[in-house]
Amino acid sequence: MSKNFDVLVIGGGPGGYVAAIRAAQLGFNVACCESNAYADPKGEPRLGGTCLNVGCIPSKALLHTSHLFAEAGHSFATQGISVGTPKIDVPTMIGRKNTIVNQLTSGIKGLFKKNKVTLLNGHGSFVAQSEGGWQVKVGEELVDATQVIIATGSSARHLPGITVDNKIICDNVGALDMEAVPKKLALIGAGVIGLEMGSVWSRLGSEVTILEALPDFLSVTDIDVAKEAAKVFARQGLNIQLGVQIGEVKASKKGVSIAYTDKDGKAQKIDADRLIVSVGRIPNTEGLNAEAVGLRLDERGRIDVDGHCRTNLAGVWAVGDVVSGPMLAHKAMEEGVMVAEMMAGQSGHCNFDTIPWVIYTSPEIAWVGQTEQQLKAAGVAYKTGKIPFAANGRALGMGDTSGFVKMLADAKTDRILGVHIISANASELISEAVVAMEFGAASEDLARICHAHPTLSEVVHEAALACDKRPLHF
């Protein structure tokens, strides 16, 4: 006999668990199924998906620890603090990271209990359309649901001929669980994960080389941010090679050898103790039995959805990494809420034009909206306000004046089109820009808002003033 629910969510990552909770809040009888891909010590599935288990959360824990280590070794003395030569206890660092992960994943189970969401152990796979909706196999059980939300996330993309064992050659999973600081570390891919993981182990003492196939560094960011980041990371010791072609990769118990062709076409080779492969992610659609029910996928293997995350099947929705758009946890959460509210007859909303991006390096990089190169390509007339942190009192007090805020506004209407920040705490500063853009603000609106002094946010204020060529402190 099958179990019956109003809503079944397949996947308990950020998009899935948030969708389940919001649907339950709206009065639906909700179940969420999750496999034991990230099983806890008892063998029970851990919620939170890649983000909480082997992605966003654990990486930020390691980034924080490594940042403190670097500060102690390089910045404390300038502030009159003497601590001697710092030492890193990697097992303790990893243990702290694991404690945080366990706390948060357990917390989601508590939220499920609070909101009366049923957790089912097992991967969800479509069986057939039923009279009242859809029949899905979860583990060995059959579940009937009126509506289904697919939130199966993504997995690390691997390269042909390079076997990831998460010991010598790692993806994001192994990169977060190294037992010691590798003397030499190589990474393939200079994207978000590559830069963040490279930063962690570089701060702790690794000699880091990042190999990137694209000819331009951080091409997804604004051109000025990319140029500034390249200079900063070079000073930090990250050796970033652009325009390379990866050749044969040989691994042994002791390390790994990577042959590649550099941007000038010359053959090169690097020997390293560990290799991290970070070349993007692929949507998790295998095992859904999509073809049996006619669930349509696009040319990249993602589930085909409309602007409100509806699939081509009535009553079936999909959110997060498994659909088009940026693979960001907060984007998945917003889609999950939107879908739950749409199912309840409400006006669910997700503005894909105001989703912020963040790279948690030091300095952090954050942006929302369009870049200057995108505006130029589209022929949009714009004006720019760009202010460095060099003269900001709070930044000077913190001992970190790197970076700037760059604001782009429509030349005629003054409406904010994009904001790009590279600085300490950029991940927090960007929220002001997101709120402003969500409400259709002009740069003058931010320019006329009083910002607390002394704060880093004053540079956002000055950038808004600079759009009108009237900055007060620069």
Q: Would you name the residues annotated as active-site residues?
A: 453
Helix segments in 172-301, DSSP class H: 172-175, 192-203, 223-235, 290-293
DSSP state of 24: H
The two counts, helices (H) then strands (E), for the chain are 14, 22
Q: Report the DSSP beta bridge partners of residue 7.
A: 30, 147
CA 164 to each of CA 80, 154, 281: distance values in angstroms, whole numbers, following the listed order = 45, 17, 14
Q: How far apart are CA 140 and CA 33, in angstroms?
A: 12
Q: Report the DSSP beta bridge partners of residue 31.
A: 8, 118
DSSP 3-state assignment of 263? coil
Contact between 444 and 409 (Cβ < 8 Å): no
Q: How far apart are CA 419 and CA 430, in angstroms?
A: 8
Measured in whole angstroms, the distance separating CA 445 from the mean position of its chain's CA atoms is: 30
Tracing tokens 């042909």 back to the chain, one arrives at: 160
Q: How far apart are CA 370 and CA 276, in angstroms?
A: 30
How crowded is residue 381: how many other Cβ atoms within 10 Å of its Cβ? Answer: 8
DSSP state of 92: H
Tracing tokens 């980034």 back to the chain, one arrives at: 63
**C-alpha closest to that of 467 among 435, 445, 437:** 445
SS3 content of the chain, % helix, strand, coil (to 5): 35, 25, 40
149, containing H or E segment: strand 141-150
Contact between 462 and 472 (Cβ < 8 Å): yes
138, containing H or E segment: strand 133-138
Q: How far apart are CA 48 and CA 411, in angstroms?
A: 43
Contact between 199 and 236 (Cβ < 8 Å): yes
**C-alpha closest to that of 317 among 137, 121, 147:** 147
Burial call 213-240: b when 16+ CB within 10 Å, e when fewer: eeeebbeebbbbbbebbbebbeebebeb
Can you state the angle between helices 90-114 and 14-25, rounded to 10 degrees? 20
How crowded is residue 401: how many other Cβ atoms within 10 Å of its Cβ? Answer: 18
